[in-house]
Amino acid sequence: MTKKPLAYPTTMNRRSGLLNFLLLILLFVLPLGGHSQSKKALKYFDEAKSLYRNSDFQQVLERLKYVVRQEPNWIEPVLLQADAYGETDSLDARVNALEKALDIDDEKYPRVFFLLGNARYQQGEYCLASRAYQRFLDTGRAARLESEVHRKIAACDYAAQLVAQEVPFAAVNLGDSVNTPMNEYWPSLTIDGKKLVFTRLLPVENRTSPLSPRFQEDFYQSDWQEGAWRKAHPLATVNTADNEGAQSISADGRLLFFTACHRPDSYGGCDLYFSRLQNGQWTAPQNAGSPVNTGAWESQPSISANGEYLYFVSTREGGKGGRDIWRCRLEGFRADGRPIWDEPENLGDSINTVGNEVSPFIHSDGKSLYFASDTWPGLGDKDLFVAKMKTDASWTSPQNLGYPINTVNEEKGLVVDASGTYAYYSSNREKSKGLDIYRFKLYEAIQPDAVSYVAGVVYDKSSGMPLSARVELIDLGNNSLITKTEASPPKGDFMICLPLGEEYAFNVTMPGYLFYSANFALKEVHKLENPVELEIGLEPITPGGKTVLRNIFFKTDSYALESQSQVELKKLLEFMRQNPNVSVEIGGHTDGVGTAAYNQLLSENRAKAVYDYLIGAGISASRLAYKGYGFTVPVADNTTDEGRALNRRTEFKVLEYTR
């Protein structure tokens, strides 16, 4: 017995193909039977065609039941019946009608074999679909579709292999706090996994006319507290009486991109909009503007964890097919809140096809892209895939996530948590309340790289008041800026992504304060469950104030600055230039290994190396001093490796400051 994928109820929304070669005949030519039909059957067939033109498919089927019963060998009503079944999502009935048409006459309309193959494929009956496609080729009348038929036969073989090689999959419903009898879908997560934002389809109250929409989409948020999802609440200031959907929340939960259609400020039918979380409230949505939005259709955004790139779907010119995935660099925001964009770029042939690629999700690792496609080989309508960005910014070939993650129906809207272990998506499964949001564990081959995060608050060390300081994360391997953000009022809090396996410089700056410096060397063993959490008290610039420069590096027993020190040196230089009324001392400190004389000389030479850098960069010698302290001012125990590492440090101390 052939093993078939689970068929989750979904809207098929696919024309049968009869419109391309039969429907015009069926609707506009009479009679077509091989013998005289009864007047009543002809009348009912006439009515069925008229009803079909008005898309009243249920009434079409009612008329055709009589015709087919009275004239069982009349093929054209059976074919129109098959098409109407397709329009009403009655797939099994459609297959039966197509097979009946072939039983009546398998030579008159050979393309019916092709339609039967498509319908069998939609059922997940891949062997039967392949057989129908082959029968179409055997008729010798498939020339115009021959290449497509061969592609479909290959797709059947691939789909059968996917089903035979079932992957681990166990979906868990998120429960009553998130899911209701209404439809919930399109989940999005913050990097700490504590905020879940999703779309809910709601009935429209107080409809003004029968033609008014019966349903609308709004955003809801559920918070993870004490080991459970709390009851979801609407995003009141973002939701309107119109539709809002297909959203993406930033890693820190402060920026929401989403899709809205036919608004007064729209560039086209559907545009991308955004809202920012300020002082605990979402701002009024704004159009994301050009060049992200065009006169075409833009939707389904996904913002990268570092806030640098927005991935989205568009039908604009320059694409590869119908709907393509694009990305655009977000360079910042203007004073009036409008975003500053670079030119969008198409992800190219490695991702996009002549068909449709939709629902992109860029993982927090910055290189794992999950998306749905109706053209890359798969099991049904739209399958889920993952592709990885290579070091040269090209993409690996998309990998199908496998069965039963993918089924004969349409899968899309998948997101993956920061750990790379769990995915969230929506599905209309057995025992669900409709379209519900589920979580499942990804098997290892399709997992992204794990990431962690650093979260904290920034405050004035003297007064304890929260500060809106600038926060930066720099990759010390290539001295590139990974993320920049601001500690947000009213709490002065922040949260940024930390990809694992690299070493980072972390800086917090605020005008009028000494900057804060930290170093994160994250190994693979670091877990998301143990994020870096900081309380950063910035010290106002006053004489005697000190800052440890934790990203100044020297080789062992050397005072030659290593290349990784450039990030911190530039930060110190920036501080000196922005504060021309400050004079500082550069202090060198060592651990307790070796003689006092040796460590005194080494610490002095290391301090002088930083001093010389600043002099060479144009800082006046009158504002600078340097001093070596050897191991006379330890800040930790010199008997442990960890303590000695803390004692080996470079500091700067404010000597003079005039306001």
pLDDT above 70 as % of the chain: 92
Residue 266 pLDDT exceeds 90:
yes
Is the model more confident about 5 or about 431? Answer: 431
Q: What is the pLDDT of residues 63-109, one digit of tens each?
A: 999 999 999 999 999 999 999 999 998 999 999 999 999 999 999 99
Instruction: Report the alpha-carbon distance of residue 534 to residue 457 in Å, rounded.
Output: 7
Residue 14: band (very low, low, confident or very high) from pLDDT cuts 50, 70, 90 = very low
- Low-confidence winner among 7-21, 197-211, 466-480, 538-552 (lowest mean pLDDT): 7-21
pLDDT of residue 31: 53
Q: What is the pLDDT of residues 594-623, one digit of tens each?
A: 999 999 999 999 999 999 999 999 999 999
Residue 3 pLDDT exceeds 90:
no
In SS3 terms, 41-95 reads as HHHHHHHHHHHHHCCCHHHHHHHHHHHHHHCCCCHHHHHHHHHHHHHCCCHHHHH
Q: What is the pLDDT of residues 140-167, one digit of tens each?
A: 998 889 999 999 999 999 999 999 999 9
Q: What is the pLDDT of residues 506-533, one digit of tens each?
A: 999 999 999 999 998 876 555 556 788 9
Q: Using DSSP, state whether 137 is helix, strand or coil.
A: helix
| Spatial contact of 372 and 383, defined as CB atoms under 8 Å apart | yes
* φ/ψ of residue 431, rounded to 5: 70, 5
Q: Structure pTM? A: 0.88
Which domains can be identified in the chain, with CATH numbers? Answer: 18-164 (1.25.40.10), 172-203+216-446 (2.120.10.30), 450-540 (2.60.40.1120), 542-659 (3.30.1330.60)
Buried-state track 404-429, b at ≥16 Cβ within 10 A, e below 16: bbbbbbbbbbbbbbbbbebbbbbbee
pLDDT of residue 28: 57
| Spatial contact of 363 and 370, defined as CB atoms under 8 Å apart | yes
pLDDT of residue 35: 54
Residue 8 pLDDT exceeds 50:
no
| Spatial contact of 548 and 517, defined as CB atoms under 8 Å apart | yes
Residue 334 pLDDT exceeds 80:
yes
The highest-confidence range among 142-151, 408-417, 458-467, 514-523, by mean pLDDT, is: 458-467
The H helix count followed by the E strand count for the chain is 12, 34
pLDDT of residue 527: 58
- Low-confidence winner among 114-118, 378-382, 638-642 (lowest mean pLDDT): 378-382
Q: Is 318 exposed, middle or buried (0-12, 13-18, 19+ CB in 10 A)?
A: exposed
Instruction: Report the alpha-carbon distance of residue 254 to residue 283 in Å, rounded.
Output: 10
Q: What is the pLDDT of residues 351-383, one digit of tens each?
A: 999 999 999 999 999 999 999 999 999 998 889
Strand 624-628's sheet: what is its strand order? 546-549, 649-657, 582-589, 624-628
Residue 465: band (very low, low, confident or very high) from pLDDT cuts 50, 70, 90 = very high
pLDDT of residue 4: 39
Instruction: Report the alpha-carbon distance of residue 179 to residue 437 in Å, rounded.
Output: 7
pLDDT of residue 81: 95
pLDDT above 90 as % of the chain: 81
Average pLDDT, the chain: 91
pLDDT of residue 20: 46
Sorted by sequence, the CB contacts under 8 Å of residue 81 that are 6+ apart come out as 60, 61, 64, 68, 97
Element holding 208 (H helix, E strand): none
- Cα angle 365-369-374, degrees, rounded to a multiple of 5: 170
Residue 7: band (very low, low, confident or very high) from pLDDT cuts 50, 70, 90 = very low
State the DSSP string of 174-190: --TTT--SSEEEEEEE-
Beta partners for 338? none
Q: What is the pLDDT of residues 288-314, one digit of tens each?
A: 999 999 999 999 999 999 999 999 999
CA distances from 130 to 155, 256, 361 (A): 9, 45, 33
- Cα angle 250-251-254, degrees, rounded to a multiple of 5: 50
pLDDT of residue 371: 97
pLDDT of residue 27: 62
CA distances from 389 to 350, 367, 393, 394, 589 (A): 10, 5, 6, 6, 43
pLDDT of residue 24: 57
Instruction: Report the alpha-carbon distance of residue 527 to residue 631 in Å, rounded.
Output: 35
